[in-house]
Amino acid sequence: MPARTSLVRVAVGLSAVAFGTVGCRGIPSEKPPIHLQQNMDFQQRFDPQEPNPMFEDGRAMRLPPEGTVPVGWLMEDDHLWRGRGPDGRLVDALPPGIKLDRKLLDRGQERFNIYCAPCHDHLGTGRGMATRRGGGFAVQPKNLHEPRLAAMPLGYFYKVITDGQGTMLSYAAQIPVEDRWAIAAWVRTLQASQRASASDVPEEARNRPVPKALAATRAPEGGAS
């Protein structure tokens, strides 16, 4: 029947026009989402990192006023927060509140791989991926196994992560204090691993196959033997 075919034609035509003008789902667009009903989507408060035009610098998040200390941030423990003993020298031990165990080293390894490996690589030789891209670093990151660094006390590595050193900037804002100590402990572990001999490995563990995850973290040059 012609009436019906024309009806189908009109329907197809209309939907083609609709899809053509309004668009399909999932099309990339630079235009912000359209929300017809904005009921309470945006409330009279500020989320983290949102702008607030009331302040001169435009930030909703405020810094603590100068000369004030937020609760819990007095940082009076020199050993924990600055890696220094009562004599002001860098300590070679973990703070009393942090226990050296498998959990700490696992945490240290994980955090090292997140925050340090991009430049220092997973073994700490200073040839991370970030240094191999985009023209490379003007100053090569340190090889953590060089004799000068291998001889440094544990607190030194904590201090470098916290304050930065040379061209390396501070990581204090990115890594909480306990994690910085965990990373320092892992740096020590890496250093020990590169100077170890077969006799350091317990008898029963010597012929164990290398775990897949560990094999993947080895330097392509095959530094570990």
Partner 1 sequence: MPAIFPRWTNHIPVVAGLLAPLVGAGLIFAVWYWFSPKFTDVGYRPKQPVPYSHRLHVSDVGLDCRYCHNTVERAAHAAVPPAATCMNCHSQVKSTSPRLEKVRESYNTGAPIQWVRVHQLPDYVYFDHRPHVAAGVGCASCHGRVDLEDVVELKEPLSMSWCLDCHRNPEPNLRPLDQVTNMAWDPAEHDYDPNKDPMRKRKVQPPTHCSGCHR
Instruction: Based on the shown chain and the rule CB under 8 A, indicate whether residue 27 belongs to the binding site for partner 1.
Output: yes
Name the one residue in this structure whose structure tokens are 């003993």: 85
Cα maximum dimension of the chain: 101
Instruction: Based on the shown chain and the rule CB under 8 A, indicate whether residue 6 belongs to the binding site for partner 1.
Output: no
Instruction: Based on the shown chain and the rule CB under 8 A, indicate whether residue 34 belongs to the binding site for partner 1.
Output: yes
Question: 33 vs 65, which CB is nearer to partner 1?
Answer: 33
Bridge partners of 94, per DSSP, are none
d(CA 3, CA 38): 43
Instruction: Based on the shown chain and the rule CB under 8 A, indicate whether residue 118 belongs to the binding site for partner 1.
Output: yes
Instruction: Based on the shown chain and the rule CB under 8 A, indicate whether residue 17 belongs to the binding site for partner 1.
Output: no
Contact 90, 84 (CB under 8 A): yes
Identity of the residue numbered 74 = L
Binding partner 1 (rule: CB under 8 A), the pick from 136, 147, 209, 211 is 136
Contact 195, 150 (CB under 8 A): yes
With CB under 8 A as the rule, give the number of residues binding partner 1. Answer: 57
Contact segment (CB under 8 A) with partner 1 among 92-100, 128-136, 142-150, 200-208 equals 128-136
Instruction: Based on the shown chain and the rule CB under 8 A, indicate whether residue 119 belongs to the binding site for partner 1.
Output: yes
SS3 106: helix
CA distances from 194 to 68, 118, 191, 200 (A): 45, 19, 5, 11
Residues 52-91 that bind partner 1 (CB under 8 A): 57-59
Could you list the residues that contact partner 1 (CB under 8 A)?
Answer: 7, 11, 14-15, 18, 22-36, 40-43, 45, 47-49, 51, 57-59, 110, 113-115, 117-119, 129-131, 133-139, 167-169, 171, 173-176
